[in-house]
Chain A
Amino acid sequence: MIETRVAFELVSPERLLLSESVDMVVVPGAEGDFGVLVRHAPLVSGVRPGVISVYNGGQVTERIFVAGGFAEVTPSRCTVLAEQAMPVAEIDRMAAEQQLKDAREDLADAKDDDERDAAARQIAVAEAMIQASAS
């Protein structure tokens, strides 16, 4: 039998969130979303803040928000190393908006490039989170 499923793993520093074989995953890559099916070409990609969708039997079975990270794809498996990850359903809209507001203030207060970068990253994460919870 030909293997038609891809082994997908999603790990964050705190825990292994997901490890199962799935039909397809769509990952928000640094240069655009990409779908991973079995026998995908080997790829290493950055991941931007966004939503990872897991497809089984033609339907989205799971949507997980990630705040950036890296993805490694080989013909048989797809591993996403996320900086932070949580199911979309668990996103706290209010908290995300508060975070966005705080980050904007940080950006305004930032004194050097490092602080500005950090604040800009925070804003991107918070915006992606709000967007994810709205869709």
Chain B
Amino acid sequence: MASLKDLRVRIASVKSTQKITSAMKMVAAAKLRRAQEQAEASRPYAERMERMLGSLAVSVAGQDGAPPLLKGSGKDDVHLIVVGTADRGLCGGFNSSIVRQARQMIHALGGQGKTVKLLCVGRKGRDQLRRDYGELIVDTIEDVAKPTVTFDKASAIAGRLTQMFQAGEFDVCTIIYAQFKSAITQIVTPQQLIPFAVPEEQKDAATGSGASAVYEYEPDEEEILAALLPRNIAVQIFKALLENNASEQGARMTAMDSATRNAGDMIDRLTLVYNRTRQAAITRELIEIISAKEAM
């Protein structure tokens, strides 16, 4: 049986852990508010961009002059997966669930005989993937959310992807990130970036009626597409980074909330044991004194 002193030390240490987790929870909650606002504010732009590009893509589909970013390199051999995770841990299953999705994809693609390359955004993803797939990792980008996610950072990643694509280093690029639903729910989402994937409903609309508005272009189709495609990649990455950031804070908040609650339960349990032990010791001492007196 643990001594009184041991129990006291134990309770004190759980208490200080609880202080840390509850502080982390509050920090995460504050950061979450900002991150969530940012993520929600960026959604309209990304959506409109995708819609606009979708209708463009449908109208140029099948033409010879379509740019490679739209129709792909004509092959499907090398896949690049951008794994977006956090730089820090202690956020529940956030990083692990993204990495799990990545592993599944690597496995599936590997089974089809494709070559897979990985670009890790965030330290935690790299740390978890390095053990099994170290040789697949092309590079790691860190500190995207520090101090805040900016469009420039997303642009830089997009520029790099475009360059790699033009150099023929991969054929298909997919980004994996966690879409923010609420502080409790985040949905791990893979999104194909290159070549551009036309949203399903637009595809249906195009094949169904064939009369989806015929656009005029100013200057001309090719120029607009050439400017729009790389920009879209940057926008989609930006959106993914913001969603990821919000999801991370949400996941951390929930995780730290339950950690704080667990610590509270543990303190209660330990205090109960401590009091019982203390009383047992007092009772024992009394019995000793009384029986000693009687013996005299």
Assess the A30–B52 pair: CB atoms within 8 A: no
* Most interface-central of B214, B218, B219, B227 (chain A CB within 10 A): B218
Q: Closest B residue to A11 by CB, please name it.
A: B45
Name A9's contact: one of B48, B215, B235 (CB within 8 Å): B48
Chain B residue contacts of A13, Cβ below 8 A? 42, 45, 151, 235, 238
* Most interface-central of A9, A15, A41 (chain B CB within 10 A): A15
Assess the B216–A81 pair: CB atoms within 8 A: no
Q: Closest A residue to B218 by CB, please name it.
A: A45
Binary CB contact string for chain A from 1 to 22 against chain B (1 if under 8 A, 0 otherwise): 0000000010111111001000
The residues in A between 43 and 62 inclusive whose CB is less than 8 angstroms from any CB of B are 43-46
Q: How far is the CA of A81 from the CA of B235 in the complex (A)?
A: 11
Name A41's contact: one of B48, B49, B216, B223 (CB within 8 Å): B216
Q: Closest A residue to B151 by CB, please name it.
A: A13
Count how many chain A residues have C-beta atoms less than 8 Å from C-beta atoms of the other chain.
23
B205 interface hit (Cβ, 8 Å) = no
Assess the B42–A14 pair: CB atoms within 8 A: yes
Q: Closest A residue to B42 by CB, please name it.
A: A13
A30-B219, A81-B52 known; A44 vs B41 contact (CB < 8 Å) = no
Chain A residue contacts of B48, Cβ below 8 A? 9, 11, 72, 79, 81
Name B56's contact: one of A29, A44, A75, A79 (CB within 8 Å): A44
Assess the A14–B215 pair: CB atoms within 8 A: no
Q: How far is the CA of A79 from the CA of B52 in the complex (A)?
A: 9
Q: How far is the CA of A16 from the CA of B39 in the complex (A)?
A: 12
Assess the B215–A16 pair: CB atoms within 8 A: no
Q: Closest B residue to A14 by CB, please name it.
A: B41
Assess the B214–A72 pair: CB atoms within 8 A: no
Assess the A70–B52 pair: CB atoms within 8 A: yes
Q: Closest B residue to A84 by CB, please name it.
A: B151
Name B213's contact: one of A16, A19, A74 (CB within 8 Å): A74
Closest CB of chain B to A121's CB: distance in Å? 12
Q: How far is the CA of A14 from the CA of B48 in the complex (A)?
A: 13
Name A46's contact: one of B45, B56, B224, B235 (CB within 8 Å): B224
B277 interface hit (Cβ, 8 Å) = no
Closest CB of chain A to B159's CB: distance in Å? 10
A31 interface hit (Cβ, 8 Å) = yes
Q: How far is the CA of A16 from the CA of B46 in the complex (A)?
A: 11
Chain A residue contacts of B52, Cβ below 8 A? 44, 70, 72, 79, 81
A9-B48, A46-B224, A70-B224 known; A16 vs B216 contact (CB < 8 Å) = no
Q: How far is the CA of A30 from the CA of B56 in the complex (A)?
A: 18
Assess the A42–B213 pair: CB atoms within 8 A: yes
Assess the A43–B235 pair: CB atoms within 8 A: no
Closest CB of chain B to A42's CB: distance in Å? 4
Cβ contacts A to B, 23 pairs, < 8 Å: A9-B44, A9-B48, A13-B42, A13-B151, A14-B38, A14-B45, A15-B41, A15-B42, A31-B219, A42-B215, A42-B216, A43-B216, A44-B52, A44-B215, A44-B216, A45-B217, A45-B218, A46-B219, A70-B52, A75-B213, A79-B48, A81-B45, A81-B52
User: B residues near A, CB below 8 A?
Assistant: 38, 41-42, 44-45, 48-49, 52, 55-56, 151, 213-219, 223-224, 227-228, 235, 238
A-B complex: 10 closest residue pairs judged by Cβ atoms: A15-B41, A45-B218, A42-B213, A16-B44, A11-B45, A42-B215, A43-B216, A72-B52, A44-B215, A13-B151
User: A residues near B, CB below 8 A?
Assistant: 9, 11-16, 19, 29-31, 41-46, 70, 72, 74-75, 79, 81
